[in-house]
């Protein structure tokens, strides 16, 4: 039984009915449920929005202060310590590269020894 057969057998009639006058009553029922104005911005809503704005502003202020402190600490770091820090960062970057490139310790050792020769 394909689509044509289903249509031939059952047709396309809508077997669903509604109570008499349903659609006439529906419009007035819907309209009686919706508020008079589209979006009513109550004082409570307004104060909530201002609270969110104030909270976001405070968050940004704290974040900005933290970032500026970190930058200051880095620039005030003694030269040796800063270099060591950079080396550590470079080293972890290299380790990641080695991991991604799937280079084994044996390959590194082989390359190192051939350079030495």
Partner 1 sequence: MNKFDEEKLVSDIMDPKNQRKAFEEMVSRFSPQLYAQIRRMVLDHDDADDILQNTYLKAWSSISTFRGDSKLSTWLYRIAYNETLAFLGKQKDHIPLDDPEASVVNHLMADEYFDGNEEEARFQAAIQKLPPKQRQVFNLKYFEDMKYETMSELLGVTVGGLKASYHLAVEKIEYFLSKED
82-111 residues in contact with partner 1 (CB under 8 A) are: none
33 counts as binding partner 1 under rule CB under 8 A = yes
Instruction: Tell me which residue of 60, 86, 87, 62 sits closest to 74, measured CA to CA.
Output: 86
**Which residues, other chains included, contact 98 with Cβ-Cβ below 8 Å and sequence gap of 6+?**
108
Residue 117, class by beta-carbon neighbours within 10 Å (0-12 exposed, 13-18 middle, 19+ buried)? exposed
Closest Cα partner for 10 from 1, 21, 20?
A: 1
Q: Is 43 in the site for partner 1 (CB under 8 A)?
A: no
Task: Work out which of 21, 38, 101, 102 binds partner 1, going by CB under 8 A.
Answer: 38
Stretch that binds partner 1, among 35-43, 54-62, 64-72, 109-117 (CB under 8 A): 35-43
Q: Which stretch binds partner 1 (CB under 8 A): 12-20, 43-51, 65-73, 75-83?
A: 12-20
Unique residue bearing structure tokens 């600490």: 73
Query: Does 44 interact with partner 1 (rule: CB under 8 A)?
Result: no
Which residues sit at the interface with partner 1, rule CB under 8 A?
A: 1-3, 5-7, 9-10, 12-19, 22-23, 26-27, 29-31, 33-36, 38-39
């Amino acid at each position: 039984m394909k689509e044509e057969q289903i249509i031939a057998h059952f047709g396309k009639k809508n077997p669903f009915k509604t109570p008499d006058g349903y659609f006439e009553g529906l419009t007035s029922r819907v309209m009686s449920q919706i508020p008079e104005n589209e979006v009513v911005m109550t004082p409570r809503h307004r104060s909530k929005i201002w609270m969110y704005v104030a909270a976001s502003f405070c968050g940004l202020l704290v974040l900005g202060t933290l970032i500026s402190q970190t930058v200051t600490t880095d620039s005030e770091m003694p030269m040796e310590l800063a270099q060591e820090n950079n080396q550590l960062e470079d080293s972890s970057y290299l380790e990641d590269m080695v991991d991604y490139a799937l280079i084994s310790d044996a390959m590194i050792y082989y390359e190192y020894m051939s350079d030495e020769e």
